[in-house]
């Protein structure tokens, strides 16, 4: 998510250091989810790495920067940035489809070559029909006749070279792409919970839909998803290990 620091500082001058941390964590979670946050004290306290009691006593100014709607906390600026990403993704997808359609349409150059080929073939056939005497020039050939015109014997036309097999081209991530049952089971086997898989999926979609250029095209999006969740599972294991070591150090002290 792009940060506009001038706007941020101007809107948060009244926050304490603790409140700044909670606010940053909340808008980060909002961006990663790609949608509003549930207005649940336990969930919000977990995001802010604090307790529900401390959140209610110290973070009222932070929560006031969100609007509550049907049990959800909505942030106007984050929603605006999410909409920008969605629009850029839609424009990129439409542009890719248009280029693919243009490549699949035969060019005028190929059409003219086909017309010239048919014209030369017909001319040779007419020449043999209208001038039987021309068969005499082919006495050295089987049956004393000229061979039927083919692309190999036509005047001025060379035999087309076989095209090399093209490698698979990558495509952009479809806006309605889902990992499917196999992709979800793969993430569960790595140790991710259902909520973590949902958050990982949201981050995956926002990242690749916003990715520009050739880097945003892949041949196998299912394998790209597996790489993504493996990285998330590794981060989770590292975080768990750090928390375990910290807990041991606190008990030792």
pLDDT at 232: 93
Domain assignment present for 65: yes
d(CA 1, CA 30) in angstroms, rounded, equals 10
Domain assignment present for 41: yes
**Domains identified in the chain, total number:** 2
Domain assignment present for 88: yes
Q: Are residues 4 and 91 in the same domain?
A: yes
Which of 96, 124, 151 is the last residue in one of the domains? 96
User: What distance separates the 2 farthest-apart alpha carbons in the chain?
Assistant: 113
Which of 81, 96, 111 is the last residue in one of the domains? 96
Domain assignment present for 29: yes
Q: Is residue 163's pLDDT more than 80?
A: no
Phi-psi region of 170 (alpha: psi -120 to 50; beta: other; left: phi over 0): beta
Domain assignment present for 135: no
The predicted-structure confidence for 75-100, as pLDDT tens digits, reads as follows: 988 988 888 888 887 788 777 777 77
Q: Is residue 178's pLDDT more than 80?
A: yes
- Average pLDDT of span 105-123: 61
pLDDT at 162: 67
The predicted-structure confidence for 27-58, as pLDDT tens digits, reads as follows: 999 988 888 999 999 999 999 999 999 998 99
d(CA 135, CA 138) in angstroms, rounded, equals 5
pLDDT at 102: 74
Q: Is residue 106's pLDDT more than 70?
A: no
Which of 96, 131, 163 is the last residue in one of the domains? 96
pTM of the entire predicted model: 0.40
Domain assignment present for 28: yes
Q: Are 175 and 93 in contact (CB under 8 A)?
A: yes
Domain assignment present for 127: no
The predicted-structure confidence for 184-217, as pLDDT tens digits, reads as follows: 999 999 999 999 999 999 999 999 999 888 888 9
pLDDT at 75: 92
Domain assignment present for 5: yes
CA separation, residue 9 to residues 5, 15, 95, 219 (Å): 6, 10, 38, 43
Query: Taking all residues of the chain, what is their mean pLDDT, rounded to a whole number?
Result: 81
Of the two residues 112 and 67, the one the predictor is more confident about is: 67
Q: What is the span of the domain harbouring residue 238? A: 171-253
């Amino acid at each position: 998510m792009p940060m506009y620091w001038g706007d941020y500082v101007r809107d948060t001058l009244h926050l304490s250091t603790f409140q700044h941390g909670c606010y940053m964590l909340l808008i980060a979670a909002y961006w990663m989810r790609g949608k509003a946050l549930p207005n649940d004290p336990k969930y919000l306290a977990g995001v802010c790495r604090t307790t529900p009691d401390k959140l209610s006593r110290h973070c009222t100014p932070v929560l006031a920067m969100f609007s509550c709607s049907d049990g959800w906390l909505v942030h106007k600026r984050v929603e605006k940035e999410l909409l920008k990403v969605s629009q850029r993704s839609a424009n990129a997808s439409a542009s890719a489809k248009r280029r693919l359609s243009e490549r699949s349409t035969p060019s005028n150059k190929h059409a003219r070559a086909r017309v010239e080929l048919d014209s030369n073939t017909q001319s040779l056939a007419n020449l043999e029909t209208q001038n039987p005497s021309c068969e005499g020039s082919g006495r050295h050939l089987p049956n004393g006749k000229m061979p039927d015109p083919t692309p190999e014997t036509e005047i001025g036309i060379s035999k087309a070279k076989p095209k090399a097999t093209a490698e698979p081209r990558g495509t952009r991530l479809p806006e309605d792409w889902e990992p499917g049952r196999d992709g979800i089971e793969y993430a569960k086997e790595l140790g991710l919970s259902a909520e973590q898989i949902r958050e990982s999926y949201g981050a995956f979609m926002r990242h690749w839909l916003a990715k520009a250029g050739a880097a945003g095209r892949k041949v196998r999006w299912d394998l790209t998803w597996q790489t993504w969740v493996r990285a998330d599972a590794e981060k989770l294991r590292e975080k768990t290990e750090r928390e375990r070591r910290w807990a041991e150090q606190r008990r030792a002290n």
